[in-house]
């Protein structure tokens, strides 16, 4: 499953985001280091279900009237403070939790109501733009320390006649999610000595920064947008490439209210509807959330996960079926499974995502939308519905 990690300084709202996105019961508190051990759970990205192109909606648990929710792993880790790569705060232990993550959501307190260590201060007192950069910096330096720690071994390997730097680096960096392609592309863009013994700390750091950028890309979540002073969200938007304003607290309130049956709301909707009895105070609270949603197009929780997976990682959703006319599995369930794959994936990649046996036995594939066999090289698209013919 694709893995999204919530990182950022303490007290920014990571656990609140996690709680809203997974509806798991975790601790939230207005002080630093509420979370110590990482929380791991299942959340979803949202997309249009292919059933929208059919007469009937599919009735799958993960499809709400054509809004399709595709499972992803969400990890909520301890807060990060400047110097974490050297062990400050909860330090390295937490950074290691990020090794499995495919993409990072840097949750920033856009209200400026917490200092760089996560201690509460007056709203507006701290500049949240600083929190964008230090998280990137800590992750880069953490990776650089992994590269440095392992460099002696690379030097040793380099004495062997069939030494290959690419291979040695792939060995070292697969643990943090780097592929052969990541390493090859990174080395192509870097200027470095052929002999690893001639590498300096600067070379290793440059390598680490580039590998981090490729393997742990970051979306900034400008959280607490509901109480952010004027201009803060705008300045955050200018400070990073991908910034999603959010109110994790608002999303949590809405999901609870939806669960209680008092509002109609599906995660990622730009608005909600009050459908049950509420006290004046509850109603007021919800109306304040509505104002923030109107300004930003939603609470931002669903939107940040969607941005991470569909925009930044550039993934698509593909739907394997057994019956290419009814779009069902063997039990008659309509569109039962959805897989997230990198864009340019082929039918065979989908077969392997379903099961390695199906991949090994792959014969050909049928595009169920067109009712036609497709070439093995055809690139799948967002919403592809595919029947895989396999002899396994």
Ligand X SMILES: Nc1nc2c(ncn2[C@@H]2O[C@H](COP(=O)(O)OP(=O)(O)OP(=O)(O)O)[C@@H](O)[C@H]2O)c(=O)[nH]1
First to last CA, the chain: 23
C-beta of 288 vs 348, nearer to ligand X? 288
The residue from 2, 15, 221, 317 that contacts Mg ion (CB under 5 A) is 15
DSSP string, 79-148: ---TTGGGT-TTHHHHHHGGGG-SEEEEEEETT--B-TTS-B--TTSS-THHHHHHHHHHHHHHHHHHHH
C-beta of 94 vs 352, nearer to ligand X? 94
Residue nearest to ligand X (CB): 79
The residue from 2, 13, 305, 368 that contacts ligand X (CB under 6 A) is 13
Contact between 10 and ligand X by CB under 6 A: the answer reads yes
Chosen from Mg ion, ligand X, none, partner binding at 38 (C-beta under 5 to 8 Å by type): none
Instruction: Name 325's Cβ contacts closer than 8 Å, sequence gap at least 6.
Output: 368, 371
Contact between 304 and ligand X by CB under 6 A: the answer reads no
C-beta of 13 vs 128, nearer to ligand X? 13
Report 233-292 residues binding ligand X (CB under 6 A).
247-250
Contact between 29 and ligand X by CB under 6 A: the answer reads yes
Contact between 34 and ligand X by CB under 6 A: the answer reads yes
Contact between 384 and Mg ion by CB under 5 A: the answer reads no
Q: Are 102 and 174 in contact (CB under 8 A)?
A: no
Site mask for ligand X (CB under 6 A), range 100-129, x = bound: ------------------x-----------
How far CA 297 is from CA of 102, 110, 164, 231, 267, in Å, comes to: 26, 17, 50, 17, 12
Calpha distance 255→247 (Å, rounded): 12
Where does residue 263 fall: left (phi above 0), alpha (psi -120 to 50 degrees), or beta otherwise? Answer: beta
Binding region for Mg ion (CB under 5 A) out of 7-15, 238-246, 331-339, 351-359: 7-15
Calpha distance 66→57 (Å, rounded): 6
Contact between 224 and ligand X by CB under 6 A: the answer reads yes
- Interface residues with ligand X (CB under 6 A) are 10-16, 28-30, 32-35, 78-79, 118, 223-224, 226-227, 247-250
């Amino acid at each position: 499953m694709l893995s999204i990690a919530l990182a950022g300084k303490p007290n920014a709202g990571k656990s609140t985001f996690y709680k809203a996105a997974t509806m798991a019961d975790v601790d939230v508190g207005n002080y630093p280091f509420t979370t110590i051990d990482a929380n791991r759970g299942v959340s979803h990205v949202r997309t249009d279900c292919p059933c929208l192109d059919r007469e009937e909606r599919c009735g799958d648990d993960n499809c709400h009237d054509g809004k399709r929710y595709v499972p992803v792993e969400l990890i909520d880790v301890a807060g990060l403070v400047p110097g974490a790569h050297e062990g400050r705060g909860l330090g390295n232990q937490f950074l290691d939790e990020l090794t499995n993550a495919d993409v990072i959501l840097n949750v920033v307190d856009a209200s400026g109501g917490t200092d760089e260590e996560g201690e509460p201060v007056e709203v507006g007192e701290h500049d949240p733009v600083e929190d964008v950069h230090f998280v990137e910096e800590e992750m880069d330096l953490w990776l650089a320390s992994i590269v440095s720690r392992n460099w002696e071994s690379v030097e040793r390997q380099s004495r062997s006649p069939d030494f290959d730097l690419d291979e040695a680096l792939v060995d070292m960096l697969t643990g943090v999610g780097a592929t052969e392609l990541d390493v090859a592309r990174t080395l192509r863009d870097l200027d470095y000595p052929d002999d690893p013994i001639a590498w300096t700390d600067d070379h290793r750091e440059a390598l680490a920064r580039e590998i981090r950028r490729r393997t742990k890309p970051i979306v900034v979540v400008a959280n607490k947008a509901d109480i952010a002073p004027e201009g803060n969200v705008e300045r955050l938007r200018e400070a990073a490439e991908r910034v999603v304003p959010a109110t994790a607290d608002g999303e949590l309130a809405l999901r609870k209210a939806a669960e209680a049956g008092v509002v109609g709301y599906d995660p990622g909707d730009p608005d909600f509807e009050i459908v049950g009895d509420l006290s004046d105070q509850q109603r007021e609270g919800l109306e304040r959330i509505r104002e923030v949603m109107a300004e930003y197009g939603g609470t931002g929780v669903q939107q940040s996960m969607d941005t991470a997976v569909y925009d930044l990682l550039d993934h698509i959703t593909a739907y394997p079926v057994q019956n290419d006319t009814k779009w069902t599995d063997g039990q008659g369930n309509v569109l039962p499974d959805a897989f997230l794959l990198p864009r340019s994936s082929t039918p065979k990649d989908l077969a392997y995502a379903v099961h390695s046996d199906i991949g090994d036995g792959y014969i050909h594939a049928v595009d169920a939308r067109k009712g036609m066999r497709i070439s093995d090289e055809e690139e799948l698209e967002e919403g592809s519905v595919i029947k895989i013919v396999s002899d396994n």
